[in-house]
Structure 1
Amino acid sequence: MIVQERALRFRCQDEWLYGILHQPQQLVARGVLIVVGGPQYRAGSHRQFVLLARYLAERGIPVMRFDYRGMGDSDGTIRSFEHVGEDLTGAVDLFFEECPFLKDIVIWGLCDAASAALFYAHQDQRVSGLVLLNPWVRTEQGIAKAYLKHYYLQRLFKLEFWKKLLGGKFNPVASIRSLCEFGKSSLYMEPAAAEDDSSSSCNLMASLPERMLDGLKHFQGKVLIITSGSDLTAREFLDLIHSSADWQKTTEAKQVEFFHIENANHTFSTCEWRNQVAEQTGIRVLSW
């Protein structure tokens, strides 16, 4: 299929933002907005976003990817994922302006871009679906538990660990000290915010997981969550769901779909993992 790729720019406040539109010749009426996560720009790690956009566009799905203010080619000062709502609004507005045949869009986000998508999606009726990869729910307690469960304890069952210990290449005192610190952190309970259904998901008084859950509760569209088996960010997110009755109840009520790639790393860096992500994304976008 013939796909046209062209550069776009749009204003957010008084600053210029830049992106790329992938527009196939034969179009479907649902597009995908790829949202950048972490300190990177619209190409993505190992050109992941470029390859994903081209995969989807070859199947008739228009795709837009762009840089937030302060990232990549865009103007302005760098900002966190918690303060990109205006950037997203501007990008969605331009996407519909450039592709007037669109009826709705799906937002695709990795790591803290998944968090930003959950904050934003329920506020924009043009967003019909979310594809969230290894969502960022980082808290001091959560990462401490993830390290204890998925790193320190697992090391005891690995031959390499015992070879280092018996060979004098392992410092048990430093490791025990680190383990104790993580243990204390995992027992620390962050103060919970008072429940208020009318509160915004951007209420910074609530913890990050609480704000993300609030966004999910208010979103009326479809959701696919893709997780990696070899990634602490994904482990922390899955541990949160498994330990929280509220998260479990909400994901079940919303009929959230899950897809897990057992050996994948955080950015799905191999061709096999990347292709699985692209295939699962394309299936959902075309079937939702």
Structure 2
Amino acid sequence: MTRLHLTFECADTTLAGSLDTAAGVSGLLLVSGGNEVRSGVFSGQAALAARISAAGYPVFRFDRRGVGDSGGENKGFRKSNRDIQSALAAFRVIAPQIERVVGYGNCDAASALMLASGLDCDALVLSNPWTVEDDRALPPPEAVRARYAEKLKNPRELARLLSGGVDLGKLAKGLVRAGRRTSAPTTLASEMAAGLAAFDGPVRILVAGSDRTAQIFTSNWDADDTRVVRCDGAGHAWSEPHAREFLERNLLEILRG
């Protein structure tokens, strides 16, 4: 495996990208979320790219406009279509053997791919999609219930409750919210569902069981969607050993077709 660093054009600016080479005809386009650079938190995405390329599949990562080494203005995930399209075109040029591209995004990168109906990708792996329209919004009842269920499994949390180490007023408010009915899907979630419905390739949606973003997503999504796969005890960045294995296994399954 060789890691190449390159630049490519997007609109009126230049973006930075990285290619982990491999001979496979299926490739992974790794889309970063938020203000995250292409290497990922603690180089997690760079490490993932190395493992996937070692398995025989080329991986292309990039910084979208206004992030990391790329020029331009970061206008957010809702306006990142041009960035993703430009990266996909650069990927196909620098790895011309590719016949099939799997798009992968975590958090709002997954949301961007869903809103854009996958753009020109052939398959999608969508991780912990972002469905929150207001960062100040309270978590839905489903997420609150999941949080308390996790705490009740933890002997330390039970000990804190019995010893008076828990704010009972805050606990009471949380229990009231947890007892409410299921929340209605957000407008963003509805837009994402409509966008994904227009994509006709294979789709897998990965949700981390201990991640609040994933819990909010599942509260806004069709509970009967068989494309959703859950990993208990996993955090948002898939940094736990079993979570890393889960993510890599699912990516490789989709890459193999």
Residues 15 and 62 of structure 2 are in contact (CA less than 8 Å); yes or no, is this contact kept in structure 1? yes
- The AA in structure 2 aligned to 1:143 is P
Name the counterpart of 2:204.
224
CA deviation string 1:72-102 (max 9, x = no partner): 1111222211110010111011111112222
Match of 1:118 among 97, 114, 128: 114
The 3 A distance-change label for structure 1 pair 231 and 188 is closer
Q: Which runs of 5+ in 1 are unaligned?
A: 193-206
The 3 A distance-change label for structure 1 pair 64 and 209 is same
1:189 and 1:5 mapped to 2: Cα distance? 45
What SS does structure 2 have at the residue aligned with 1:109?
Answer: strand
CA deviation string 1:224-246 (max 9, x = no partner): 12221111221222233355xxx
The 3 A distance-change label for structure 1 pair 81 and 186 is farther
Aligned length: 255
Question: Does 2:83 align with 1:87?
Answer: yes
1:188 and 1:22 mapped to 2: Cα distance? 42
Name the counterpart of 1:103.
99
1:259 and 1:179 mapped to 2: Cα distance? 28
- The AA in structure 1 aligned to 2:11 is Q
What SS does structure 2 have at the residue aligned with 1:34?
Answer: strand
Greater Rg, structure 1 or structure 2? 1
CA deviation string 1:4-33 (max 9, x = no partner): 211110121222110101112xx2222110
Could you tell me the TM-score, scaled by structure 1's length? 0.78
Identity of aligned residues (%): 28
- The AA in structure 2 aligned to 1:84 is S
- The AA in structure 1 aligned to 2:218 is L
2:5 and 2:234 mapped to 1: Cα distance? 32
Residues 142 and 186 of structure 1 are in contact (CA less than 8 Å); yes or no, is this contact kept in structure 2? no
Q: Which runs of 5+ in 2 are unaligned?
A: none
Question: Does 2:235 align with 1:274?
Answer: no
2:245 and 2:63 mapped to 1: Cα distance? 23
2:193 and 2:70 mapped to 1: Cα distance? 30
What SS does structure 1 have at the residue aligned with 2:97?
Answer: coil
Could you tell me the TM-score, scaled by structure 2's length? 0.87
